[in-house]
A and B are shown apart, each in its own frame.
Chain A
């Protein structure tokens, strides 16, 4: 027998409340590369996992929003630092998952990390761009500040395994929301890797929760959950998204549907913020 070292193969698990559980259901499913070769066994999350993730996101939200915007920016920038040092691994998974060339995969990873940096810079600018004072006709000091919607459900893009995922989860997080994301069903591993990096980037547990599994099974639970304030359906095909949007309407969810390519309207940043306005009297 040769002494060839056996690989230590990795289990790709869920991310809930800062921990990496297998699905409470005990299920996993086989993920293959774009060429059809075995890539990994990935936890197949259940509806219960989604509900647990929402509980985690809800309890983490006040702390995440209560941190200073500067601190949130530092934490997100730290994620970029962590991703930078693991970009080979990310690129390998993007390449295998998406079936693109090594060079293209590297470019995707570079863009993804740069997007994280972009969001790191937004945390303490949101209020200045979207907030302001309102010159009401009376003796009042009146100002509006943007505040997060709360818990945001993300149904990640099925094709773009990393770049679209970064946009979908970082945009709501940087404005102070916490997130429950359901990854691409067939291409989940880059998102799982990114989740692992958040665990070493000072993110409080529960700020980002990641569920892998069957989208059709999980999405309705997320869309129907009464404690989810907003849902990003930009990665879902139109018919399915229509149904999920209708489901979300039951609890008056904020719904993000379409984000055009090269959109520079800050649609994603605006999608899950509310405007809070304060009136304060002025007088001797």
Chain B
């Protein structure tokens, strides 16, 4: 046994003590109504459905199933608020409301982080350090724009669109709500927000925050429900704008359904991000970047670096190191502060990941799965790496949206670019190299809305995010993010 393997085996026998965050910080009610016109109200059909903790399969709370009649009520409230209040509220006033919301999120960040982790299954480290601070920062950033729209590059006195219907996914529940609401409100729109079916709770806490901020009634309405609720919102004739984040199939359907209407549309859809690794890349940072690119948030990230394109000369070394690193990932209790990979958000998503990985094995790719122990209850999937993947394999083409990495190789920069672009998606890519000129050469040729160089999965309210091709259109974040909510 060499010194190094000895050290590794000793390290392997050492483990962290549990460091759980307290679930009791989340003071959830047993059930929640629909947030319409500034208050929580019962849904018309009095239907409630449970929101589960995916790590335990326990019910956290029940939430209301909004019917088409409820959607109509919410849109009506948003329309009235737009006509009577919000369109007459100055940019400076809107700004001050948004600053209030940002501050309240900061003040209640610990509670929000715990609720997010309970409802979504993501590690508390991520909800605490990424989701919630970024959500507050997003409100803070767009607060500053509300009274500066004249300077945003869209001409003098740009006007809002009116009532925005916003449908968000379950992977970053509060953050996606912030991405949708903050620019819409800054630009002067009123909103009807539909959180994802499996992760509605942080949005309902946000509703409480909006009450605390004394945001005028009806300016933001938050309605929970399944796909039928979102569908009714998309079809509602009095909605001026639909902003959707989610599956490409659903986005396609929404685009078709709104094609003949007056409705403005922005879509942030799926991705199959390529992480391109050149032989001169700094290897330790690069391995961490690849790991972070695919296993961050259990891989439930539309811009995840789910395809690793590694230069042939270093492929064996990279794969060996990746597998070793995957073994070290701590999978388990999302509330534990040392957890790296939490629970899969739902049974349905777990099924989808299992299906695609089975197909991957069937198509001939070589599978490496972490030997970590998985909890008995809840939805779990061990971090997995596929080597020997061909471009034609489904695991190289379809979005798995789970902790699964497909590794392919290339020889030249041209080949890397060709392979990276060989997808219908175009959301994000990573490039790892110490040679800046080549990174920029590659970046120029990648058909992706976001390109990270020597890093991955970085987000900031000032930086525009969004896709090309079938990853959607429109940008969220930055000055560009205002355009989605201005009639310009």
With beta carbons under 8 angstroms apart, the residue of A123, A125, A141 that contacts B479 is A125
Contact of A283 among B95, B437, B479 (CB under 8 A): B437
A52 on the B face (CB < 8 A): no
Q: Does A2 contact B (CB under 8 A)?
A: no
Q: Are A280 and B437 in contact (CB under 8 A)?
A: yes
Interface residues on B, range: 20 to 34
Stretch at the interface among A69-77, A224-232, A244-252: A69-77
- Of A92-100, A114-122, A198-206, A233-241, which binds chain B? A114-122
B99's partner among A117, A266, A281, A284 (CB-CB below 8 A) is: A117
Whether B437 contacts A117 by the Cβ 8 Å rule is: no
Does A137 have its Cβ within 8 Å of any Cβ on chain B? no
What is the distance, in angstroms, from A99's C-beta to the closest C-beta of chain B? 28
- Binary flags per residue of B336-351, CB closer than 8 Å to A gives 1, else 0: 0000000000000000
Q: Give A residues with C-beta under 8 Å from B.
A: 69-70, 73-74, 77, 114, 117-118, 120-125, 127-129, 139, 141, 264, 266, 280-284
- Given the known interface contacts A70-B140, A117-B95, the answer about A282 and B441 at a Cβ–Cβ threshold of 8 Å is yes
* Complex CA–CA separation, A121 to B137 (angstroms): 11
B459 at the interface (CB under 8 A from A): no
Closest to B96 in A: A117
CB distance A124 to B437 under 8 Å? Answer: no
Known: A73-B144, A117-B96, A284-B413. A266 touches B151 (CB 8 A): yes
Residues of B within 8 A of A129 (CB): 151-153, 479
**A283 CA to B414 CA in the complex, in Å?**
11
Report if A125-B144 is in contact (Cβ < 8 Å); known contacts: A280-B440, A282-B441, A282-B444: yes
Closest-CB distance, A76 to chain B (whole angstroms): 10
Quote the shortest CB–CB distance from A138 to chain B (angstroms): 12
Q: Which residues in B have their C-beta under 8 angstroms from that of A266?
A: 151
Closest B residue to A118 by beta carbon equals B147
Closest 7 pairs between A and B when the two form their complex, measured CB to CB:
A121-B144, A281-B437, A282-B440, A128-B479, A283-B437, A141-B440, A282-B441
Are A69's CB and B462's CB within 8 A? yes
B478 with A283: CB separation less than 8 A:
no
Find out whether the CB atom of B140 lies under 8 angstroms from the CB atom of A125.
no
| The residue from A70, A74, A114 contacting B92, defined by CB atoms under 8 A apart | A114
Q: Point out the residues of chain B lying under 8 angstroms from A125, CB to CB.
A: 144-145, 148, 151, 462, 479
With a CB–CB cut-off of 8 A, which chain B residues contact A139? 441
A114-B92, A124-B462 known; A282+B437 contact, CB < 8 A:
yes
Instruction: Bits for B418-438, please: 1 = Cβ < 8 Å to A, else 0.
Output: 000000000000000000111
- Would A281 and B436 count as touching, CB distance under 8 A? yes
Task: Let me know if B150 is at the binding interface, CB within 8 A.
Answer: yes
Q: Which residue of B lies closest to A124 (CB)?
A: B462
User: CB-nearest residue of chain B relative to A122?
Assistant: B144
Given A121-B146, A123-B144, A129-B152, 14 additional A-B pairs, CB 8 A: A70-B462, A74-B140, A77-B140, A118-B92, A122-B148, A124-B141, A125-B144, A125-B148, A139-B441, A280-B440, A281-B436, A281-B440, A283-B441, A284-B437
